[in-house]
Amino acid sequence: MPGTRAFTLGALLARLPMGMFSVSAILMIAPARDSYALAGAVVATGLAATALVAPLTARLVDRHGQARVAVPATALALLGGLFLIACVHWNAPAWTLFASYAATATAPNTGGMARARWAHLLKDDPAALHTANSFEQAADELCFMVGPVIAAFLCTSLFPEAGTLIGGLVCLTGVLVFAAQRATEPPPSGRTAARSPVRAPGVPSLLAVFLAMGAVFGSLEVVTIAHADARGDASAAGLILGLQAAGSCAAGLAFGAIRVTRSAERRFPLCLASMATLMTLPWLTASSTGSLLALAPALLVAGMATAPTMVTAMSLIQERTPEGQLNEGMTLAVTGLLGGIAGGSALGGWMVDHGPGPATTGFAVPAAAAALALALSLAVSKRRPAVFRPPH
């Protein structure tokens, strides 16, 4: 479609650093302060701050338009990253690390803005919208596949601050390219008296599931990095995490190519059951072998449940979000994920430092979080809430 390639390129550039920032922060802070617990807590604080600020940024995007809000919001986030680099480099007090990383919370949800553009362009073609949503999820996974690899390479080959610095500059460049594509931008809704999407029927229960899903991703990232570091090959962590995202990316493309027949509400528990089952593979592999070579394919297979689950979850969010509030609705979903990632990062870091070891207890955290997400979904499905379905 005219204009879609340009905004897709900008969105990819803007999202690529999203797979870099957490890994970069951990690889920058942990060696400097000799504490994975501190690094995990700093990352968790930044993600928690994003969970609070992102919906407000998205509400401004819905009201005033993507271009007017995204560029200054990204510039403010870049300043926060620069302050974090300075605080780590000059050994500032620990509280400054938390404050600096929290300042990056203004970064807009570029993936949500891209999905909102597709929803605007394909509002009369649900089948094409399913394919577009699957493509966007595959793009997310591509960024989280390549991002950790780039971050690990930059931080270990150049200097520890390189991943955060270069990631911030790439993010700002991508947002500038994305914002310049005005022809495909959804029209701003202006001020509205409508209630927040968080109060729409079926949304709060779905956000609880997103929270548990986020804990899967946050804990898996920290535990995998620590697991690789404990075996003397910290630089391999990015590649191993990239394989997990590669499995999800491939599954997302395949999922977008098929014609779905069941409703998203009926597919969701099945997807979560697959995730809960496959997330036991890294735990079993690390516990039984302790080998990075064996862990890599286990994460590749485990990742194959991620994209179909996320695509289905985002489809439910789109169905349940009132018209004119789509950016805010999808950002609330990401907020739930970030809140879970924050808790998962902190818990994963604590397990690494204080538990029996990342090869056993650590990898049990993402497996338990996936099981919790499934349990929450099954409990909610019994109530079968009424949902908002926008007209097509």
Give per-residue pLDDT as tens, 328-351: 777 788 778 877 887 887 788 788
**pLDDT-based confidence at residue 121 (cuts at 50, 70, 90):** confident
The whole-number average pLDDT for the span 106-119 is 86
**pLDDT-based confidence at residue 388 (cuts at 50, 70, 90):** very low
pLDDT at 374 over 70: yes
Tell me the backbone φ, ψ of residue 238, rounded to 5 degrees: -60, -40
The whole-number average pLDDT for the span 7-12 is 89
**pLDDT-based confidence at residue 390 (cuts at 50, 70, 90):** very low
Please indicate whether residue 264 or residue 111 has the higher confidence score (pLDDT).
111
The whole-number average pLDDT for the span 362-382 is 84
Give pLDDT, residue 253.
80
User: Mind listing the pLDDT tens digit for each residue in 123-152?
Assistant: 778 778 878 888 887 887 777 777 877 888
pLDDT at 192 over 70: no
pLDDT at 200 over 80: no
Tell me the backbone φ, ψ of residue 190, rounded to 5 degrees: 75, -175
**pLDDT-based confidence at residue 392 (cuts at 50, 70, 90):** very low
**pLDDT-based confidence at residue 383 (cuts at 50, 70, 90):** low
pTM: 0.70
User: Mind listing the pLDDT tens digit for each residue in 41-88?
Assistant: 888 788 778 878 888 888 888 788 888 888 999 999 999 889 999 988
Mean pLDDT of the chain: 81
Integer-rounded Cα radius of gyration of the chain: 20
**Alpha carbon distances (Å) from 217 to 44, 93, 178, 220, 231:** 12, 29, 27, 5, 22
pLDDT at 155 over 60: yes
CA 99 to chain centre: 21
**pLDDT-based confidence at residue 230 (cuts at 50, 70, 90):** confident
Please check whether residue 362 is in contact with residue 227, taking contact to mean a CB–CB distance below 8 angstroms: yes
d(CA 380, CA 316): 13
* Length reported for the chain: 392
Contacts 24+ apart (CB under 8 A), 172-176: 172/74, 172/75, 172/78, 173/13, 173/14, 174/10, 174/11, 174/12, 174/13, 174/14, 174/15, 174/16, 174/110, 175/10, 175/14, 175/70, 175/71, 175/74, 175/108, 175/110, 176/10, 176/71
